[in-house]
A and B are shown apart, each in its own frame.
Chain A
Amino acid sequence: MGKAFDLSLLGTFLPELLAYLPITLLILAASLFFGLLLGLLLAIPRLYNIPVLTQLVVVYVSFIRGTPVLIQLFLVYYGLPAVLGLVHLDLSRADPLLFVIVTYSLSSAAFLSETIRGAVNSVDLGQTEAAYAVGMTARQAFGRIVLPQALMVAVPNFANKVIGFLKDTSLAFTIGVMDMMGRGQTLISATAHALEVYISLAVIYYLVVIVLERLFAASERKLQQHERKWASA
């Protein structure tokens, strides 16, 4: 069962693994970007109650929320080449990173569409009506009145989701992606110090999560500055 536990190895492993943090963050950023775009598209049919599309979105969101992300990763890994094979696109030499980003984009889109829908619906309809009453156009009413209030509701929820997604990226190694976890696996094969590698990884993930939490807390305060005046009055 490996070699004796040696805490001093953390000093060697931490920088080695940190060098691969950009890959982990790239997976997170890319899938959040595509996830947000697709999530917005998915939220629209339900916000405007478009028939057929609404039902399709409901099934899609239910499926993503109802299956483990690891299964989704395998489904994309084995399914995407099969689907794209129909249009004669060969993915046999594609970087596994592609499959990971596709999976997490599809997955985060479902969760984010729910966040977006909830946030927009949380803004009272009277707000839009009042905006119309003072002569705003539909676009102005959305951009100046609904969106700022919806964002305030969405940020805490969004923050939780992003932190969840960051932790989920640690599964990319199962299909051979060289992110922090992937690098950890190769370090383990090279040194047989599995425990030290995993502890180093836990430390790095924890620090990244703390930084993200701080950033989101700061942005939340910024968005709520108008609300807080009320509370302190």
Chain B
Amino acid sequence: MTIDIAFIVTAFFEILTALPLTLTITVVPLIFGLGIGVVTALIRLYKVRVVHQLAEFYVSFLRGTPIVLHVLIIYFAMPKLIDSLSAYFGWSFKSASIPILLFVLTAYSLTAVAYMSEIIRSGILSVPAGQIEAAYAVGMSTPQAVWRIVLPQAFGAILPNLCNLFIGFLHTSTFAFTVSQMELLGKANVVASVNLKFLEAFIAAALIYWGMTIIAERITAFLEKRVTAYSRGGMA
């Protein structure tokens, strides 16, 4: 076995150029997920009629199926849907003009909503009811109590989960390569095939992911200290 260490270094920097795309595929869906996830979490917590059953099924189905299938299904379904819509309404618009990245982002966003909804729900549930009662007792309105008392505490509780979800989505962003996206893994494949050095290229890619994961963990540890500063024990 000969491992070309020098090539790992070359490959590392070549693959690193794909990092912005990987981060886009990771972060954009999480932002969408956070926004819509809050809404679905509240729907599920307040048990809004009919919609709550739908939300329940949506979350359960997306969490119960492999994410690679979400990517593939959206990749094949969206163009068909768009083309039949545009044929129906007589638009001059073809799905071929839409970049594949948009389908990928849609798929991951739909997935992120399901995972986020679950995390946010657990965070809100973790805040004791006494907190909101105390907020009412000092004369706050419901929006004030939710915004000033519940959400900051819920956020502190879900930070580790958010970090795990970020790392999870960073890793699942590799599935985008199955629909020929040039993110880190796609790029690693190209670098590997061009130079016929597969092992070295994938080692380089693994190092990038590992580094990103460690950085994410460090940032979370720092943020956690800041966000949960109010509940730290010991001397003030």
Q: B210 contacts which of A67, A82, A201 (Cβ < 8 Å)?
A: A67
B side interface size, CB within 8 A: 40
For the complex, is A78 an interface residue (Cβ under 8 Å from B)?
Answer: yes
B residues near A170, Cβ cutoff 8 Å: 66, 68-69
Contact yes or no, A71 B199, CB < 8 A:
no
- Contact indicator A194/B210 (Cβ below 8 Å): no
A167's partner among B65, B173, B178 (CB-CB below 8 A) is B65
Tell me if B45 counts as interface (CB < 8 A to partner A): no
Q: A62-B214, A66-B209 are in contact. Are A195 and B80 (CB under 8 A)?
A: yes
**Interface segment, one of B141-149, B200-208, B221-229:** B200-208
Residue contact A62 to B69, C-beta cutoff 8 Å: no
* Nearest-CB residue, chain B, relative to A2: B76
How many angstroms from the CA of A66 to the CA of B213 in the assembled complex? 5
Number of chain A residues close to chain B: CB under 8 A = 38
A54-65 Cβ-contact flags toward B at 8 Å (1 or 0): 000000001101
| B209 A67 Cβ-Cβ under 8 A | yes
Determine whether A5 belongs to the interface, using a CB cutoff of 8 Å to chain B.
yes
Tell me if B61 and A206 are in contact (CB < 8 A). yes
Instruction: Tell yes or no: B135 within 8 A of A by CB.
Output: no
Contacts of B110 in A (CB 8 A): none
Contact B65 A202 (CB under 8 A): yes
Contacts of A53 in B (CB 8 A): none
Assess whether B160 is interfacial by the CB under 8 Å rule.
no
Which residues of chain A have a CB within 8 Å of any CB of chain B?
1-2, 5, 62-63, 65-72, 74-75, 78-79, 82-83, 85-86, 163, 167-168, 170-171, 174, 181, 194-195, 198-199, 201-202, 205-206, 209-210
Please provide the 4 A-B residue pairs with the shortest distance between their CB atoms, ordered closest to farther. Answer: A66-B213, A68-B171, A66-B210, A209-B64
Would you mind naming 10 contact pairs between A and B with Cβ atoms under 8 Å apart?
A: A2-B80, A65-B213, A67-B206, A68-B171, A70-B177, A78-B202, A171-B68, A198-B76, A205-B65, A205-B69
